[in-house]
Structure 1
């Protein structure tokens, strides 16, 4: 685990460095010329596109497998007892709330602080136009037709991601109802498929510095220094949205958890420090359990059940950040999603948040955001550049998740609080 985390941490630094070098080299080539001219530029662009396609080929099998195993695990957890069922239901309500907040926050932030249009234009120079799909004027009935795929295999081949996600959810719940002798090998099979896809993604990510360098060099050739300004704007917008959803859980803990604001803040602070330094909810789990018991008056049995369950299946900032990225890309490309596309993206974001819990940040970035972009009809070409700066928003994702997990643990305890609390 330490080796994998060290690799991913160093990979983040390498990718960020590759982005900076690519933008700098591209800006220099824009000013003084690129050796080999258009032939060199086309070759570098092809390398970047090859790397992106290698990531894209894992999306459908990875998402389907993760959802099937994630839904099956949630169903198993809900059957373990009343407290676990209560926690799972609360997770569902809060994920729905965070999804609604995500759209409101994304559009609100873009209204207050829009993307620099000239910078966006330069950044997208040379990238493909928005793909054909359900137009902005398409009726909501068109969206309803896409929810249940008449042919899941065809839906997969056509990147009809919402239909695949919905089919995976039904498949996961159906698998959870099977007798144990059938359920275990079926879930194990999809768990193995998901792990195999993750291995492929990790292999592809080993070439991330080269891929990001190739893509960012092309961006630097057209956008120059303007690209850096847009990327910094992106980091700020996504980070602010994640900070906002984390702050919401302070009053929720006070109102529904019946604990004072100062007490909750003091209890959460040590876990937040660990989350900030490790970018891992799992690494923060021991501190969360300790502080929930010692500072929030939660019985150890409750904390020992709810907090591991929260870390395993509940990530409240996932819809916020993932929808934020997709909506940011939509604004970059000048795409106005229809109500149907936005509804599809929201439903996809909620369900995807379940399946991608626990994945490393670089892996989950593509596994969770690419399906949402596909549902919205947004091209994926910007995702590698945004991956390069994801290390900063990921800090605030983890902070929000840890804060939410501790608040939910106190809320689940409900009326069974200690005397004098």
Structure 2
């Protein structure tokens, strides 16, 4: 019981805060706005730490790569499997949202009145100009604004690369970046102690202003994601196992997937699931050297559940602010951004929060909408972790298939 409380303490407290806030909003309606400053306090604290969090987390992660010799030895096919399965997850996630449409019956005028308008919705600029304006700014001080997050990320990436390639002279600066990351993550941890109260007050304000329609929207969103998780876990992962090893691959996968799946659900952590995944991936026939490469790397960079979560959050905001998710251009952008936030951002410490900010920045949504998708992150956390973690075992099977040849499993079972 103590271990369960340790693993899920923050999630339970956040849920309690959201439930209490939702009930307060339903009962007292607009009168609940009296507690809005407590919600604003949480948002402002997060905004204040956002810039150093993004800069230090990204730059320190890249700067440390000079010490990670194994990254240079990672085979191309491992990355191709990760990218390929994540892209499939993104497409399936988008189609799921398009078909089941979890977000509907929301008063969009009220949402825009409460949250603000989408930036640039009425201004027409060329695609190339929009790309330049998204990733760069014309003055240094502008990268210190949360509204120019991608420009800050570009600077952080260049800082990390320059530090990693500057040799011994830059090692003191690399330690500064690493220390800065540790400190900012600790500050975020302190701020998150207030999250159950802050998010609860914010949610109460939202429900008080928009009514029960938002509660229904979150419930439908969770149910759609849960349904997708069941489909992906039982159908898509079975398909990967069959591609990797045929009928025997299917059989050996389901004989051994139980412990990794239960571990992922119990710990709600891909990192904590690495030991179980390593052990049972080898029982699935994955060679030891491949398992030791794919599983640890996959825990950081191969997160199919996070990819679909990114799709869900993006479409959630699209529909909430009255934008069409079905046009070819928007479909392409949604899939690409979901892929970006699920694969690239998940490799960064604290990347979940950064990813949500990137979604808002890319599409010009008001930053006040950030808590709306932070709530989604909480309600899908457990099923997302299940997909993130267990998909690494099927990735290991696929990688073994491509490296060892089609008879790899027969050799293992012989």
TM-score tier after normalising by the smaller chain length: 0.7 to 0.9
Q: Within 5 A, what are the aligned runs for 1:232-311?
A: 232-243=219-230, 246=233, 247-256=235-244, 260-294=249-283, 296-311=284-299
**In 2, Cα distance between the equivalents of 1:68 and 1:260?**
40
**In 2, Cα distance between the equivalents of 1:210 and 1:137?**
40
**In 2, Cα distance between the equivalents of 1:86 and 1:165?**
26
**In 2, Cα distance between the equivalents of 1:149 and 1:304?**
38
Once the two structures are TM-superposed, the CA of residue 321 in structure 1 deviates from its matched residue by: 0.8
**In 2, Cα distance between the equivalents of 1:152 and 1:249?**
46
Once the two structures are TM-superposed, the CA of residue 318 in structure 1 deviates from its matched residue by: 2.2
**In 1, Cα distance between the equivalents of 2:103 and 2:210?**
14
Once the two structures are TM-superposed, the CA of residue 287 in structure 1 deviates from its matched residue by: 1.5
Distance 1:374 1:107, change over 3 A: farther
RMSD over aligned Cα atoms:
3.5
Equivalent residue of 1:58, what SS?
helix
Q: Within 5 A, what are the aligned runs for 1:109-188?
A: 109-117=97-105, 119-121=106-108, 124=111, 126-133=113-120, 135=122, 138-146=125-133, 148-150=135-137, 151=139, 153-157=141-145, 159-179=147-167, 181-188=168-175
Q: Within 5 A, what are the aligned runs for 1:322-333?
A: 322-333=310-321
Distance 1:17 1:210, change over 3 A: same
Runs of at least 5 residues in structure 2 that lack an aligned partner in the other structure: none
Runs of at least 5 residues in structure 1 that lack an aligned partner in the other structure: 35-40
Question: Which of residues 45, 61, 64 in structure 1 aligns to 2:36?
Answer: 45
**In 1, Cα distance between the equivalents of 2:334 and 2:101?**
26
Mean Cα displacement is larger for which, 278-287 or 158-167?
A: 158-167
**In 2, Cα distance between the equivalents of 1:281 and 1:172?**
25
**In 1, Cα distance between the equivalents of 2:66 and 2:206?**
45
Aligned residue for 1:371?
Answer: 358
Question: Which of residues 48, 51, 54 in structure 2 aligns to 1:60?
Answer: 51
Q: Is the 1:27–1:221 Cα contact (8 Å) retained in structure 2?
A: yes
Aligned residue for 1:409?
Answer: 396
Q: Within 5 A, what are the aligned runs for 1:25-104?
A: 25-30=24-29, 34=31, 41-73=32-64, 77=68, 82=73, 84-86=74-76, 89-90=79-80, 93-94=83-84, 97=87, 101-102=89-90
Equivalent residue of 1:289, what SS?
helix
**In 1, Cα distance between the equivalents of 2:363 and 2:26?**
32
Once the two structures are TM-superposed, the CA of residue 135 in structure 1 deviates from its matched residue by: 4.8
**In 1, Cα distance between the equivalents of 2:144 and 2:321?**
24
Aligned residue for 1:394?
Answer: 381
**In 2, Cα distance between the equivalents of 1:389 and 1:239?**
12
Aligned residue for 1:37?
Answer: none
Q: Is the 1:129–1:333 Cα contact (8 Å) retained in structure 2?
A: no
Q: Is the 2:310–2:341 Cα contact (8 Å) retained in structure 1?
A: no
Once the two structures are TM-superposed, the CA of residue 52 in structure 1 deviates from its matched residue by: 0.9
Distance 1:11 1:326, change over 3 A: same
Aligned residue for 1:38?
Answer: none
Once the two structures are TM-superposed, the CA of residue 325 in structure 1 deviates from its matched residue by: 0.9
